[in-house]
Amino acid sequence: MMAAAVPAWVVVEPVANMHSRPSAEADVVSQAIYGTSVAGLEEKEGWIRVRTPDDYTGWMTRASLRPQGEREYASAGTAVTVVSLFANLYAVPDVTRHKPLLTVPFEARLEVIAEPEDKARRWIQVRLPEDRSAWVQRGDIGRETKPLSVEETILLSRKFLGLPYFWGGTSSFGFDCSGFTQMLCRWRGMTVPRDADPQMRWEGMAEVRREDLAPGDLLYFGEPGKKITHAGMYIGDGEFIHATTHLKPVVQISRLDDPHWVRLLRGCRRLR
């Protein structure tokens, strides 16, 4: 007997929170960004429990999702990815005539309708998941690329310096620590677990001694005897980049020899 198909949905909010329970009062466990396809597992009074592409589950409001239809959004034809920190989407190809329809974060995928040759090829027309069209400036988007090198990944990571920390955050609207390292690993071509503790224990990571650290290695922190609660990426010269609430709640660069982090360092890992 064949299993019933799992309903497919697409995220239509710039960033949609995933909660531990079907309630706005429940804690945020993760997020999914605009245009992401998710599997629907269960429905309850205006909420849907979903599974994201990284195999994470949580509850989203029904209003933040739309049914996929016959095919997955941005899976056929030409799709582009937002490579600016944010991209404004407009009803017409002009930044002066109307306010943006919406602003979407870094990594949001958009389905291309047309690429006009006029206006110095500045604009691209896209179909949104809600099945309406919009315009995005070419400078905000990029095509699929090969995985980044370590050096390229470090350059990418610095792009987010100063962005706010957000518990459960996975976007340029606000990252948490493991959401930030997961994103950096994704651009290196690896899908690592969502949370810091399973990230460190993931089979795709090799253990590294602190004295052997190299740029691009991942660092994991936590109170002795307790689970891992924090993650960052080593960038060389004794420094690492991470999303943290320590001292200032932003993506920042810290020193690994800072007594605060020396005490909490629990493991160093390298992508295999």
DSSP calls for 87-110: EEEBSSS-SSSS--SEEEETT-EE
Place of tokens 């049914």: 67
In a domain, 20, yes or no: yes
In a domain, 88, yes or no: yes
CATH number at residue 87: 2.30.30.40
Active-site residue, selected from the candidate residues 19, 177, 185, 268 = 177
Place of tokens 């006009």: 116
- Counting the structural domains of the chain, the total is 3
In a domain, 1, yes or no: no
Can 246 be counted among the known catalytic residues?
A: no
Return the beta strands (E) in 106-256 as ranges: 109-114, 123-127, 133-137, 141-142, 170-171, 174-175, 205-207, 218-221, 230-236, 239-244, 250-255
Q: What is the pLDDT of residues 19-66, one digit of tens each?
A: 999 999 999 999 999 999 999 999 999 999 999 999 999 999 999 999
C-alpha dist (Å) from residue 267 to 182, 188, 214, 218, 232: 16, 21, 14, 8, 11
Mean pLDDT in residue range 153-159 = 98
C-alpha dist (Å) from residue 223 to 32, 220, 233: 29, 11, 19
CATH number at residue 225: 3.90.1720.10
Active-site residue, selected from the candidate residues 19, 185, 230, 268 = 230
Q: Are residues 85 and 57 in the same domain?
A: no
Can 177 be counted among the known catalytic residues?
A: yes
In a domain, 42, yes or no: yes
Q: What pLDDT score was predicted for residue 120?
A: 60
Q: What pLDDT score was predicted for residue 195?
A: 97
On the question of pLDDT at 1 being above 70, the answer is no
The residue with greater pLDDT, 117 or 98, is: 98
Q: What pLDDT score was predicted for residue 3?
A: 44
**How far apart are alpha carbons 88 and 137 in whole angstroms?**
8
Q: Are residues 174 and 133 in the same domain?
A: no
Q: Are residues 168 and 229 in the same domain?
A: yes
The residue type of 126 is V
pTM score: 0.93
Can 242 be counted among the known catalytic residues?
A: yes
**How far apart are alpha carbons 210 and 217 in whole angstroms?**
10
In a domain, 255, yes or no: yes
Q: Are residues 156 and 125 in the same domain?
A: no
- Quote the tokens at residue 193: 């677990």
Active-site residue, selected from the candidate residues 242, 246, 260, 268 = 242
In a domain, 73, yes or no: no
Confidence band of 177 (pLDDT split at 50, 70, 90) = very high
HSE-CB at 67 with a 13 A cutoff on CA atoms is 4
Q: What pLDDT score was predicted for residue 47?
A: 97
In a domain, 3, yes or no: no
Q: What is the pLDDT of residues 108-136, one digit of tens each?
A: 999 999 888 765 689 999 999 998 999 99
Task: Identify which of 170, 174, 237, 124 has the alpha carbon closest to the alpha carbon of residue 18.
Answer: 170
Q: Which residues span the domain enclosing 92? A: 79-142
3-state secondary structure of 179: helix
